[in-house]
Structure 1
Amino acid sequence: MLAEFTTLPLQLDAPLAGELFLIGRILFGATLAFMGLNHFMDLDTMAGYAEFKGLPAPRFSVVASGLVLVLGGLGIVVGAFPVVAAGALAAFLLVSAVTMHDFWSIDDPEEKQSEMTSFLKNVYGAGAAVALLAVGGTAWPYALGLGLF
């Protein structure tokens, strides 16, 4: 006989669960927001790399992706519009993993390893964003509680 699977609403009532969830949000969101700031602080270099990778409108793409990272990361940290923030981050991280870090097309072993590492970081970041997206419609502890959903 197979066990029946049921889903329960997100419950963060275990000791320190809310605080640990906040720490996880800060670590994840602040790291991505910082990465987004780097898009602006090193705009010319990043736009050159985006152009090298064949992105259309490379400068605009770097600015737009920087905004997604900064606003999405801060949204996760403070708990504002979590569904929008997590969804935008997940989409960006998956798209940029494939378009910017295509390690499978590189011959040089060192460059290939560097791109694979970046690809994998984007993929596991997208996984975290999808997990946050899944709980984005529930009340988060220590959050502003602003949202569309």
Structure 2
Amino acid sequence: MLAEITTLPLQFETPFAGELFLLGRILFGATLAFMGLNHFGDLDAMTGYAEFKGLPAPRFSVVASGVLLALGGLGVAVGAFPVLSAGALAVFLVVSAVTMHDFWAVDDPEEKQSEMTSFLKNVYGAGAALALLAVGGTAWPYALGIGLF
């Protein structure tokens, strides 16, 4: 017989839990927001890479992904629209891992390693975004507390 699994409500009463959660949100969200802003700093090169990878409307894709990363990352960092922000980041990171970092289709060993590293970064980022999405409907400490849900 399997033991019954129960869950406890999310609690931030342990010492420094709220502060650590805030720090984690800032590190995760601000990094992604910065990456989004970088889409605009090197738009031509990123458009060329998106075109090389076969994305439709490569320039629009780079601009749209830059906006999504910047706003989603900022939303997570400040605790605004957490469900929307974390959910959009999770979807984007999974989709871009598969479409942009298809290491399995690369022959050159150095390029393959670089793509695999980027793929894995997107996968663990998606995992973090999913974890934040799971708690997106709860009250986050030190958050703006505005959202749709």
Q: Which amino acid aligns with 1:95?
A: V
Cα offset for 1:3? 2.3
Q: TM-score, normalised by structure 2?
A: 0.99
- In the alignment, the residues of structure 1 paired with residue 147 and residue 11 of structure 2 have an alpha-carbon distance, to the nearest angstrom, of 19
2:120 aligns with 120
2:56 aligned with 1:79: no
- Give the paired residue count: 149
Q: 4+ runs of 1 displaced by more than 2 Å?
A: none
Q: Report SS of the residue matched to 2:126.
A: helix
Q: In 2, Cα distance between the equivalents of 1:47 and 1:2?
A: 52
Q: Distance in 2 between matches of 1:139 and 1:3?
A: 30
SS of residue paired to 1:56: coil
Equivalent residue number for residue 58 of structure 1:
58
Deviation of the 1:4 alpha carbon: 1.6
Give the C-alpha shift of residue 31 in structure 1: 0.4
Aligned AA (1:27) = L
Matches within 5 A, 1:90-129: 90-129=90-129
RMSD over aligned CA atoms reads: 0.6
* Aligned mates of 1:87, 1:60 — CA distance in 2: 21
Q: What are the equivalent positions in structure 2 for 1:1-149 lying under 5 Å apart?
A: 1-149=1-149
Alpha-carbon shift at residue 2 of structure 1 (Å): 3.2
Q: Distance in 1 between matches of 2:8 and 2:51?
A: 46
Cα distance, 1:7 vs structure 2? 1.5
106-115 or 5-14: bigger deviation: 5-14
Gaps of 5+ in 1: none
SS of the counterpart of 1:115? helix
State, as a whole percentage, how many aligned pairs show the same letter: 85
Shift of 1:134: 0.2
Distance, in Å, in 2 between the alignment partners of 1:43 and 1:8 is 45
